[in-house]
Structure 1
């Protein structure tokens, strides 16, 4: 069985946030300040998440991305991923991480190796700068060397694809582009530039910080020469990819703010770690699945809940309409 929203999108992708905790404090996600984490009893157990995914898979969910917070800060996340991989209908599992814990070793095995063994196929790694001082200023932590180690550990572990995600920030990313492009080429990773979005507070977004993807493409071309669009090359997301003809390297651009067609192919839902099912990142809509789950519902009732949320999925996000988020990105899931 497959479910569609009111606009004909088949919903096949679920992003599952396993924790709101993180070992960094990126200024566009969770600025450095007093943070009240979700209490343990308010956070879904792995068994609860697995049940939700099983019901989702019966409705056509095929792709899972494990997110946070920083998902690798939650114990036994590799075992959780292994259990996800056993669910009938789940075809693709990825993880989004800041990379700082991928090289962490236990009994001689890195976390990256454990994830690959568990069935995780792709890793999206946040990397906004290769300058240690700039990285610390952006993330609030001096952890760039551990990220580089994490990228290398991911390569050694054998993920099918590694993507490096850089959030575009005016006054910073312009200087970073040549080094990031070269680093991604050296590591055989897909580099994606992502427009800043109001996912922490609206104040994060200003003329002083916002760098649109159209400008970013022109800046990239100053380093690489003209880019060739690759409209047929797709991954599990909204990135528009371009080819650097001289090297064969692919670079992606994600423009939630300036691409007016950004939402046209959206096929995803988001499950927060505290049990809210959200049909859209850029919307206030969220539905309390935890209460239904813990209220003794059966799987048929869970499936009906899923279908109701899909029916409420908006045509497009509200980011361009003075959107002020009702919860930080860290509490939604990256």
Structure 2
């Protein structure tokens, strides 16, 4: 026996009769498969619970995820094993809380509205890996740590401290948020995952087979920041948008790190430290993208890579081979390294 409770959003506004038609269809299908449950419609959202045989529930939920009539399907809870049906008499009970104003439904409406608002807020503060675990009906707090290979990307604003001294608080925040928005969106679009914002630094990772995408993300971000600078006015904080990248690859530990007060689902390991050190090296080699030899070996043949030589990175016992990339979309990074004292 398995029970899944999920929330989803219709792709377009639906009338009560349209939702009722969906419910009627579900009733017939569920009755044939001995599936029971309830469908709540509220403020343009579906809240649904389905329960029945494990395989049939898995198959039904897979179909629900693919149904183009709704989007943002999020599994709130998955229960399996020795459980008792909550709705044994309902093959599919439909309740429209937008039109049903019975006194008993008022606290339910308030509760669901609170759940929705909390979900939207938590979703903004929670990284995708945790949301994916939750969406599988699992509890991320009890997920064991695991050792995996990752490509680590560090992106850091250049001369942020100087810019923050020149700009007022609002402009500093606007510039930083624009940088974080651009980098996180491009990284996500190319299959990476942003795991942490550390001040003006973005820490992200890619799967080992996506080395070329990690490099493309750096190039596209650099170009996007250049477009922001070129479109910025003389007094715009966006004129300071420049960054450097460090790329490293290796085994890391992925999992929950923290205490009962505060926990992060993140990655730690030598590759993380190396990527951070390589990003710092961009100032020394005066190139915006610096990478280790393992990244070089994982990349395709389309990249023009130049060896800097063996460098001693802070915190590492042995020197490592360091490279930078040349690309037509990369402008003169050395210009970004000059203090911007005259920019006000």
**TM-score bucket of the superposed structures, by smaller chain:** under 0.3
**Relative contact order higher in (CA < 8 Å, ≥ 6 apart):** 1
The structure with more strand, counted as a fraction of residues: 2
**Structure that is richer in helix per residue:** 2
In our comparison, the structure showing a higher alpha carbon Rg is: 2
Q: TM-score, normalised to structure 1's length?
A: 0.21
TM superposition score normalised by structure 2: 0.20
